């Protein structure tokens, strides 16, 4: 079970616009074993999607540029692959589900053909065989195969997302990257879609990176969690570490802004302030300006990740003062 599938080291991705350099992802390290689900959590603009696009090597260039680091998939560095080699990996070994199912499907192709396209790209099968497999994939995500020949505008949002999932899973990838797969869907459909994803993940024995800002989803789906803030990982560990032994002030803040359904009514305690402009990141700890526990030193030097217990890493210099959450 503990066979390593993905290993990211020191990954930095910046966007270069006319007069600014936007530091979207800074020295990120992640690793993922086969069959595991990793949750990438962070606010809008924290760099979650950029990391995902980096793994797919689909960071729009220009303006985006992968500055350095390694992304190893089964020991091979994806950043050294030629584009033609990446084409064979995308969709076959690593697939991605995008945030907005409304716009993720090509409006003028039938949904069946869009699934079959992926199958035909990655296996040498005839048109008819690909269509048959595509129809099976459709059924796998709970859409009757009779609807193979229909177009995206004839489906509801939840169904479109299932089709997007079907495309991503059609070639049985080893790694599925789901970029906020349920953000655009309403709550009842969210649960359905997550169920389907979890089911298929176990059935196909995939690994998954789940990008979300919904800690509820993380609790339900993830083995490991990495909390991202301003392009850096501020806390990472197993789900138990993050949920039961929350250490970083930002993570604590995230939980504070989560309404609880079961418990007594209380005021939400949102994290004060705004995420820093990624083109002008503060020196030292990026979270310091918003941190309730900051000390003068926080704003001066870079803070390294510290291992507080085996596998649980936190980027904070004042851990001694920071009490966990109640």
Partner 1 sequence: MYRYILKRLLMMIPVLLGVTVIVFAMLQVTPGDPARSILGDDATPAELEAKREELGLNDPVVVQYVRYLADMLRGDLGESYTSGRPVLQEVMRRFPTTMQLTLVGISVSIVLGILLGVTSAVNKGKIVDKVVTVVGMIGISMPAFWIGLLLSQVFALHLQILPATGWYGPRYWVLPALTVGVNGAAAIMRTTRSSMLEVIRQDYIRTAEAKGAPRKSVIYHHALKNSLIPVITVAGLRVGIQLGGAMVVEMIFTIPGLGSYLVDAISFRDYPAVMGGVLVIAVTFSLVNLLVDILYAFVDPRIRSQYGGGKKRKFQKKEVSA
Q: Which residues bind partner 1 (CB under 8 A)?
A: 56, 58, 83-84, 86-92, 95-96, 98, 100, 103-108, 117-118, 121-122, 147, 150-151, 153-156, 164, 167-168
Tell me the closest approach of the beta carbon of residue 97 to partner 1, in angstroms.
9
CA distance 138 to 149: 11
Burial of 255 (0-12, 13-18, 19+ CB in 10 A): middle
**Cβ-based nearer residue to partner 1, 61 or 300:** 61
Using the minimum distance from each CB to partner 1, give the nearer residue, 100 or 136.
100
| Nearer to partner 1 (CB atom), residue 26 or residue 137 | 137
* C-beta of 90 vs 315, nearer to partner 1: 90
Per-residue tokens: 142: 């709970």
Across the chain, the runs of DSSP E, i.e. the strands, are: 4-16, 21-33, 37-42, 64-73, 76-77, 94-97, 175-179, 207-212, 224-229, 232-238, 306-309, 312-314
Taking the complex as a whole, the smallest distance from the CB of residue 34 to partner 1 amounts, in Å, to: 21
**Cβ within 8 Å of residue 307, ≥6 positions away:** 313
Q: Which residue's CB is nearer to partner 1, number 96 or number 221?
A: 96
Report the nearest approach of partner 1 to the CB of residue 151 (Å): 4
Give the span between the Cα atoms of 284 and 301, in whole angstroms.
4
CB-facing half-sphere around the CA of 181: CA atoms within 13 A: 35
Distances (CA, A) of 15 to 26, 66, 212, 255, 282: 12, 9, 22, 30, 17
Q: Nearest distance from residue 32's CB to partner 1, in Å?
A: 18
| Least spacing, CB of residue 90 vs partner 1, in Å | 4
Contact yes or no for 177/168 (Cβ under 8 A): no
Of 19 and 84, the one with the shorter C-beta distance to partner 1 is 84
């Amino acid at each position: 079970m503990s066979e390593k599938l993905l290993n990211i080291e020191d990954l930095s991705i910046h966007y270069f616009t006319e007069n600014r350099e936007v530091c979207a992802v800074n020295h990120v390290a992640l690793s993922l074993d086969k069959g595991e689900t990793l949750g990438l959590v962070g606010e809008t603009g924290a760099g979650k999607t950029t990391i995902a696009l980096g793994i797919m090597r689909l960071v729009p260039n220009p303006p985006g540029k992968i500055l350095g680091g390694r992304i190893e998939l089964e020991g091979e560095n994806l950043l050294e692959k030629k584009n033609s080699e990446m084409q064979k990996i995308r969709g076959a070994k690593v697939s991605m589900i995008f945030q907005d199912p409304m716009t993720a499907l090509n409006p003028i192709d039938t949904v069946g053909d869009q699934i079959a396209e992926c199958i035909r790209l990655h296996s040498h099968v005839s048109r008819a065989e690909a269509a048959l497999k595509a129809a099976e994939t459709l059924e796998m995500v709970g859409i009757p195969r009779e609807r193979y020949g229909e177009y995206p505008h004839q489906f509801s949002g939840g169904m479109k997302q299932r089709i997007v999932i079907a495309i991503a899973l059609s070639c049985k990838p080893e790694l599925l990257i789901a970029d906020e797969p349920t953000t655009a869907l309403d709550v009842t459909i969210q649960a359905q879609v997550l169920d389907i994803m979890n089911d298929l993940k176990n059935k196909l024995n995939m690994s998954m990176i789940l990008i979300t800002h919904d800690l509820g989803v993380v609790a339900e789906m993830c083995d490991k969690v990495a909390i991202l803030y301003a392009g850096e990982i501020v806390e990472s560990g197993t789900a138990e570490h993050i949920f039961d032994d929350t250490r970083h002030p930002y993570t604590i803040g995230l939980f504070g802004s989560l309404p609880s359904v079961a418990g007594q009514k209380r005021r939400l305690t949102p994290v004060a302030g705004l995420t820093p402009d990624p083109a002008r990141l503060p020196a030292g700890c990026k979270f310091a300006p918003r941190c309730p526990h900051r000390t003068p030193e926080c704003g001066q030097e870079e803070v390294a990740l510290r291992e507080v217990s085996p596998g649980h890493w936190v980027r904070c210099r004042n851990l001694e003062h920071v009490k966990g959450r109640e």
